[in-house]
């Protein structure tokens, strides 16, 4: 099923499309819908059968926990043992918005959602369609990104349809998403909060509200049981083999030339300012280097474009790990499987 919803329309929760999609979620089906970050694949977090449908549709590893999306802080209280004071401050500052907070679970959601961890990850999304759908469904909704596991996350309903057509009950098309990378995940079960996944809210923003914030060292490790979605390698990956090039444009162009001499079709992932610096089989900009939020917003769509052109090798510029650049590099490193050409 496919519902088109104008996100700017008043009283969205009264729309027949929203009511129908919400009813399917309550009944245990899975529905793709837009959030301010990426499109999510939503199922009733209280129902094992709904969560099983999410894992099946995505081909997602079962040890990977899911984020629970809710309509209100009151719904959060129904899912957790407690909300620490620091977590409350972060909720007040950044909700609704691209911040997921990990809290001690009271085991009311399906254990498939938490991957048998003692914690549950929750957030209130800042997208009018998502908020209306959650309000109408009136159940906590587990919603990972609505794509085949390991591939670039979807930022349009067309991306979802490409990946999951025939595998899910329906798609709510609310237009293109905004932030473009997933929410920041922060664990508030410890005295000092720990970032488990960088995302739309930066470390600097979090520290401005909460004081000192740590970054989970497991972000740089492989093979551990994940405490957060999206931290396993490889993730967000296009079909072509991908490398990050630390020195550009001179070094990157040399690598392009080497691969092309070997008969490879080579693509370059760059920014608008640097498109003219390269010669390759396909050159795609992802936003402006002077405004890294535009890079984040366009990143997944750009990675998906390479798949449309039968490119053999993708060479990507790198970005400073500051602000939203931390999230951009996290996604690029996973897309490339940590392969960096120095």
What is the CATH classification number for the domain harbouring 276? Answer: 3.40.50.11030
Are 127 and 64 found together in one domain?
Answer: yes
Contacts of 139 (CB under 8 A, 6+ apart): 25, 26, 44, 45, 46
Q: What's the pLDDT tens digit per position in 99-124?
A: 999 999 999 999 999 999 999 999 99
Query: Has residue 146 been placed in a domain?
Result: yes
Q: Is residue 234 very low, low, confident or very high in pLDDT (cuts 50, 70, 90)?
A: low
Task: Give me 198's structure tokens.
Answer: 């960088």
- Torsion (CA) 168, 173, 178, 184 in degrees, nearest 10: -30
> What percentage of residues in the chain have a pLDDT greater than 90?
88
pLDDT value at position 221?
Answer: 62
Whether 128 and 93 share a structural domain: yes
Place 250 in a pLDDT band, splitting at 50, 70 and 90.
confident
189 falls within a domain: yes
Q: What pLDDT is stored for residue 176 in this prediction?
A: 95
At which of 220, 251, 267 does a domain end?
Answer: 220
Instruction: For residue 63, name the pLDDT band (cuts at 50, 70, 90).
Output: confident
What's the pLDDT at 261?
Answer: 97
Q: Which among 201, 152, 180, 174 is positioned nearest to 298, based on CA atoms?
A: 180
Same domain, 19 and 140: yes
Distances (CA, A) of 6 to 60, 162, 203, 275, 284: 30, 21, 33, 34, 29
Mean pLDDT, rounded, for 128-140: 97
Same-domain pairing of 206 and 331: no
Q: What is the pTM of this model?
A: 0.93
Residue 95 lies in a domain: yes
List, for residues 23-55, the tens digit of each pLDDT value: 999 999 999 999 999 999 999 999 999 999 999
Residue 331 located in a structural domain: yes
Query: CATH number of the domain that 177 lies in?
Result: 3.90.870.10
In a domain, 280, yes or no: yes
Classify residue 236: in a domain, yes or no: no
Q: Could you tell me if 131 and 54 lie in one domain? A: yes
Which domain covers residue 167, as residue numbers? Answer: 2-220
Count structural domains, the chain.
Answer: 2
Mean pLDDT of the chain: 94
216 and 283, same structural domain? no
pLDDT digits (tens, 9 = 90+) for 263-287: 999 999 999 999 999 999 999 999 9
Looking at residue 150, its pLDDT comes to 87
Within this chain, do residues 300 and 210 fall inside the same structural domain, yes or no? no
Q: What angle is formed at CA 192 by the lines to CA 72 and CA 106, rounded to 5 degrees? A: 45
Is 85 found in the same domain as 36?
yes
Assess whether 191 and 63 both reside in one domain.
yes
Distance CA 131, CA 96 (A): 9
Q: Domain check: are 66 and 152 in the same one? A: yes
Q: Cα(299)–Cα(128) distance, rounded to whole angstroms? A: 23
**Do residue 144 and residue 15 come from a single domain?**
yes
């Amino acid at each position: 099923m496919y519902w088109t919803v104008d996100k700017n329309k008043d009283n969205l929760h009264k729309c027949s499309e929203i009511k129908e999609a919400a009813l399917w979620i309550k009944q245990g089906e899975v529905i793709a819908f837009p959030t301010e970050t990426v499109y999510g694949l939503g199922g009733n977090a209280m129902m094992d059968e709904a969560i099983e449908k999410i894992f099946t549709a995505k081909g997602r590893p079962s040890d990977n926990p899911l984020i629970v999306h809710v309509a209100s802080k009151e719904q959060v209280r129904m899912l957790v043992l407690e909300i620490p004071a620091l977590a409350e401050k972060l909720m007040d500052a950044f909700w609704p918005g691209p911040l997921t907070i990990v809290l001690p679970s009271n085991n009311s959601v399906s254990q498939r959602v938490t991957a048998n961890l003692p914690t549950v990850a929750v957030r209130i999304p800042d997208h009018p369609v998502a908020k209306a759908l959650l309000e109408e469904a009136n159940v906590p909704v587990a919603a990972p990104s609505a794509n085949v596991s390991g591939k670039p996350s979807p930022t349009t309903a067309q991306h979802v349809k490409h990946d999951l057509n025939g595998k899910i009950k329906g798609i709510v098309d609310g237009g293109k998403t905004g932030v473009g990378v997933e929410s920041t995940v922060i664990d508030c079960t410890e005295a000092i909060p720990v970032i488990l996944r960088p995302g739309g809210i930066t470390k600097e923003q979090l520290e401005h509200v909460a004081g000192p914030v740590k970054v989970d060292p497991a972000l740089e490790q492989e093979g551990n049981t994940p405490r957060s979605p999206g931290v396993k390698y490889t993730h967000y990956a296009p079909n072509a083999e991908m490398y990050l090039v630390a020195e550009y444009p001179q070094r990157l162009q040399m690598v392009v030339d080497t691969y092309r001499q070997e008969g490879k079709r080579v693509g370059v992932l760059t920014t608008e300012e640097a498109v003219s610096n390269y010669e390759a089989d396909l050159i795609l900009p992802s936003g402006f280097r002077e405004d890294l939020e535009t890079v984040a917003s366009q990143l997944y769509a750009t990675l998906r474009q390479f798949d449309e052109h039968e490119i053999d090798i993708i060479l990507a510029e790198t970005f400073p790990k500051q602000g939203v650049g931390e999230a951009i590099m996290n996604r690029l490193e996973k897309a490339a499987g940590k392969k960096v050409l120095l």
